[in-house]
Chain A
Amino acid sequence: KAGVTQTPRYLIKTRGQQVTLSCSPISGHRSVSWYQQTPGQGLQFLFEYFSETQRNKGNFPGRFSGRQFSNSRSEMNVSTLELGDSALYLCASSSTGTSTVTQYFGPGTRLLVL
């Protein structure tokens, strides 16, 4: 099986712009979670989608949003970028998202905001 893929792998944006990141889960997986990884805050949960519905949301401002399509692919959008949004954004997929199944992580998208 192909692993979780994320595109693009690297992005450079300027403050005030918006960005969309994409995550393609492993075939058959219906749950996609997003995480922000920074040196200062570590790995922080953004949100999770299951069968096109947001099932859980972390403590991030409304500038961070996401969606999931019928093929389980997910996108994450950040509007009005700030310098502090520079981070590695990881997505993870699993069949159900519950604790009994393994979550598989993608390679991440590294976002740099100038």
Chain B
Amino acid sequence: AQRVTQPEKLLSVFKGAPVELKCNYSYSGSPELFWYVQYSRQRLQLLLRHISRESIKGFTADLNKGETSFHLKKPFAQEEDSAMYYCALHGSSNTGKLIFGQGTTLQVKP
């Protein structure tokens, strides 16, 4: 079964602390994974995708096929990083279906 699990509903850190948002997936085949973010009163938007291997707003995520994980990391959290983060799996490469995790609220305290 295709599934995405985000074990933490809420992650609270202080400004300047490292952040790691956990994501595990279940998928047979080559997974295509994404992180989406929703800031307060804004739309859900793409943060990064694993195939790009890029760093966006200081965030990176590495796909670990052995551990079936795609954790999102940032070395130094900023208050403006406070948002809801969703890990998502592309359910089928030829369609628009995304399978989302339950989401993790990141709260960065001053």
- Determine if A98 and B98 form an interchain contact, defined as CB atoms under 8 angstroms apart: no
Kindly supply a per-residue 1/0 record for chain B positions 69-110, scoring 1 wherever the CB is within 8 Å of any chain A CB and 0 otherwise: 000000000000000001000111111111111110000000
- Looking at B32, B86, B92, which has the most chain A CB atoms within 10 Å of its CB? B92
- Determine if B97 and A31 form an interchain contact, defined as CB atoms under 8 angstroms apart: no
- Give chain B nearest CB distance to A35 CB in angstroms: 8
Main secondary structure of the interface of B (DSSP, over half): loop
- Determine if B43 and A3 form an interchain contact, defined as CB atoms under 8 angstroms apart: yes
Q: Is B45 an interface residue (CB 8 A)?
A: yes
How far, in whole Å, are A48 and B90 apart by their CA atoms in the complex?
Answer: 13
Q: Is B44 an interface residue (CB 8 A)?
A: yes
- Determine if B93 and A42 form an interchain contact, defined as CB atoms under 8 angstroms apart: no
Cβ-defined partner of A98 (8 Å) among B44, B45, B93, B103: B93
How far, in whole Å, are A98 and B96 apart by their CA atoms in the complex?
Answer: 6
Residues on B with C-beta less than 8 A from A31 are 96
- Determine if A56 and B91 form an interchain contact, defined as CB atoms under 8 angstroms apart: yes
- Give chain A nearest CB distance to B39 CB in angstroms: 12
Cβ-defined partner of B96 (8 Å) among A42, A43, A55: A55
Residues on A with C-beta less than 8 A from B97 are 33, 45, 48, 56, 58
Residues on B with C-beta less than 8 A from A94 are 96
Kindly supply a per-residue 1/0 record for chain A positions 94-114, scoring 1 wherever the CB is within 8 Å of any chain B CB and 0 otherwise: 100111101111111000000
Cβ-defined partner of A33 (8 Å) among B45, B46, B98, B103: B98
- Determine if B90 and A99 form an interchain contact, defined as CB atoms under 8 angstroms apart: yes
Residues on B with C-beta less than 8 A from A43 are 86, 98, 100, 103
Q: Is B51 an interface residue (CB 8 A)?
A: yes
Write 18 A-B pairs (CB below 8 A) sorted by A numbering: A33-B98, A43-B86, A43-B98, A43-B100, A45-B99, A50-B96, A55-B95, A55-B96, A56-B92, A56-B97, A58-B97, A90-B44, A92-B44, A97-B95, A97-B96, A98-B96, A105-B44, A106-B43
